[in-house]
Structure 1
Amino acid sequence: MPQTDPVESLADPAALLTAPGAPFAVTTGPDGRRTYADGPRTLREFAEVTWAYGERPFLVAEERTYTYGEFFAAACALARRFTEVYGLRRGDRAVVAMRNHPEWQIAFWATQLAGLVAVPLNGWWTEEEFRYALDDCRPRLLLVDGERVARVRDWATAHAAHLLVFHAEHGEAEERYEELPAADPALGPPEVDVRPEDDATIIYTSGTTGRPKGAVATHLAQAGAAANPRYHAALAALQAGTVPGLGPAPVSLTTFPFFHVAAFTSVYAVMAAGGTLVMMRKWDARRALDLIHAHGVTHYAGVPTTALQLLDAAEADPRGLGPLTLLSTGGAAAPPGIAARCTGPVEPRNGYGLTETSGGVLSHAGDDYRLHPGAVGRPTPATEVRVAGADGEPVADGEVGELWLRGQSLVRGYWEDPEATAAAFTPDGWFRTGDLATVDEGGRVAIVDRLKDMVIRGGENVYCVEVETALHGHPDVLDAAVLGVPHPRLGEEVAAVVRLREGAAADEEELRAHVAGSLAPFKVPAHIRLQQAPLPRNATGKVLKRELRAGLADGPDE
Structure 2
Amino acid sequence: MTSMLDGCTPWPEEFADRYWAAGHWRGDTLDGLLRGWALRFGPRTALVHGSTRITYAQLNRRVDRMAAGLRLRGLRPGQRVVVQLPNVPEFVVTVFALMRAGMFPVLCPVSHRAERLSPLVRVTQAVGYVGPRTHRGFDHTAMAADIAAEGPFLRRVFPLDAPGTASPYGGFTTDPAGCHYFPLGSLDSPPDRPLPQNSGRVAFFLLGDGDAGAPVIVPRTHDDYVHQARAAAESVSLTEDDVYLAALPAASNLVFGCPGIIGALGVGATVVLVEDADAAGCLAAVERERVTVTSVLPDVARLWLDASATVRAGLSSLRLVQIGDGPLDRETVERIGSAWGCRPQRVLVADAGLITLTPAAGPDEDVVTTRVRPLSPDDEIRVVGAGGEDVPDGEPGELLARGPSTVRGYYRSPDLDASAFTPDGYARTGYLVRRAPDGGLVVTGRLATP
Q: 1:80 aligns with which of 68, 77, 83?
A: 68
> Offset at 1:108?
0.6
Matches of 2:328 and 2:204 in 1, distance apart? 27
Q: 1:31 aligns with which of 4, 10, 15?
A: 15
Partner SS for 1:223? helix
Q: Indicate yes or no: 2:255 matched with 1:263.
A: yes
Instruction: Report what 2:370 is aligned to.
Output: 375
The answer to whether the 8 Å contact 1:328/1:350 transfers is: yes
The answer to whether the 8 Å contact 1:225/1:409 transfers is: yes
Q: Residue deviations 1:331-370, cap 9 Å, x none?
A: 434333333223364111111112310x734342233344
Instruction: Report what 2:143 is aligned to.
Output: 151
Q: Indicate yes or no: 2:405 matched with 1:421.
A: no
Instruction: Report what 2:384 is aligned to.
Output: 388
Instruction: Report what 1:440 is aligned to.
Output: 436
Aligned CA distance change for structure 1 residues 410 and 286 (closer, same or farther; 3 Å): same
Instruction: Report what 1:175 is aligned to.
Output: 182
The answer to whether the 8 Å contact 1:114/1:190 transfers is: no
The answer to whether the 8 Å contact 2:284/2:313 transfers is: no
Aligned ranges for residues 366-515 of structure 1 at < 5 Å? 366-371=361-366, 373-380=368-375, 381-452=377-448
The answer to whether the 8 Å contact 1:334/1:350 transfers is: no
Aligned CA distance change for structure 1 residues 103 and 114 (closer, same or farther; 3 Å): same
Q: Residue deviations 1:158-199, cap 9 Å, x none?
A: 536222222254223421122344x66xx5x74222223312
The answer to whether the 8 Å contact 2:201/2:221 transfers is: yes
Partner SS for 1:132? helix
Q: 1:54 aligns with which of 23, 28, 42?
A: 42
The answer to whether the 8 Å contact 2:119/2:212 transfers is: no
Instruction: Report what 1:192 is aligned to.
Output: 195
Aligned ranges for residues 13-32 of structure 1 at < 5 Å? 30-31=14-15
Q: 2:57 aligns with which of 65, 69, 89?
A: 69
Instruction: Report what 1:504 is aligned to.
Output: none
Matches of 1:437 and 1:120 in 2, distance apart? 29
Aligned ranges for residues 291-370 of structure 1 at < 5 Å? 291-317=285-311, 319=313, 321-343=315-337, 345-357=341-353, 360-370=355-365
Larger radius of gyration: 1
Higher relative contact order (CA 8 A, sep 6+): 2
Q: Indicate yes or no: 2:123 matched with 1:131.
A: no
Aligned CA distance change for structure 1 residues 193 and 412 (closer, same or farther; 3 Å): farther
Matches of 1:264 and 1:319 in 2, distance apart? 26
Aligned CA distance change for structure 1 residues 278 and 372 (closer, same or farther; 3 Å): closer
Matches of 2:83 and 2:405 in 1, distance apart? 21
> Offset at 1:85?
4.6
Q: Residue deviations 1:210-257, cap 9 Å, x none?
A: 7322122222222222223123214xxxxxxxxx75xx5211112111
Partner SS for 1:343? helix
Aligned ranges for residues 204-219 of structure 1 at < 5 Å? 204-207=207-210, 211-219=214-222
The answer to whether the 8 Å contact 1:98/1:123 transfers is: yes
The answer to whether the 8 Å contact 1:228/1:360 transfers is: no
Structure 2 residues without counterparts, runs of 5 or longer: 1-11, 135-139, 174-180
Please provide the CA RMSD for this pair: 2.6
Quick one: percent identity of the two aligned structures?
24
Matches of 1:445 and 1:349 in 2, distance apart? 15
Instruction: Report what 2:228 is aligned to.
Output: 225
Matches of 1:391 and 1:128 in 2, distance apart? 35
Count of matched residue pairs: 409
The answer to whether the 8 Å contact 2:210/2:216 transfers is: yes
Partner SS for 2:119? helix
The one-letter amino acid of 1:146's match is R
The answer to whether the 8 Å contact 1:42/1:195 transfers is: yes
Matches of 2:414 and 2:104 in 1, distance apart? 19
The one-letter amino acid of 1:448's match is T
Q: 1:141 aligns with which of 124, 128, 133?
A: 128
The answer to whether the 8 Å contact 2:346/2:367 transfers is: no
The answer to whether the 8 Å contact 2:344/2:367 transfers is: no
Aligned CA distance change for structure 1 residues 446 and 46 (closer, same or farther; 3 Å): farther
TM-score, normalised by the number of residues in structure 1: 0.68
> Offset at 1:288?
1.5
The one-letter amino acid of 1:71's match is L
The one-letter amino acid of 1:30's match is E
The answer to whether the 8 Å contact 2:119/2:214 transfers is: no
Structure 1 residues without counterparts, runs of 5 or longer: 1-27, 235-243, 454-558
Aligned CA distance change for structure 1 residues 376 and 262 (closer, same or farther; 3 Å): farther
> Offset at 1:316?
3.4
Q: Residue deviations 1:275-321, cap 9 Å, x none?
A: 11112222321222111111111112111111121122223356552
The answer to whether the 8 Å contact 1:31/1:428 transfers is: no
The answer to whether the 8 Å contact 1:404/1:430 transfers is: yes
Partner SS for 1:438? strand
The answer to whether the 8 Å contact 2:408/2:426 transfers is: no
Partner SS for 1:414? coil
Aligned CA distance change for structure 1 residues 167 and 323 (closer, same or farther; 3 Å): same
Task: Identify which range, 79-88 or 145-154, moves more after superposition.
Answer: 79-88
Aligned CA distance change for structure 1 residues 319 and 258 (closer, same or farther; 3 Å): closer
> Offset at 1:136?
1.4
Q: 1:249 aligns with which of 221, 241, 246?
A: 241
The answer to whether the 8 Å contact 2:355/2:374 transfers is: no
TM-score, normalised by the number of residues in structure 2: 0.83
Matches of 1:395 and 1:229 in 2, distance apart? 29
> Offset at 1:405?
1.0
Q: Indicate yes or no: 2:120 matched with 1:113.
A: no
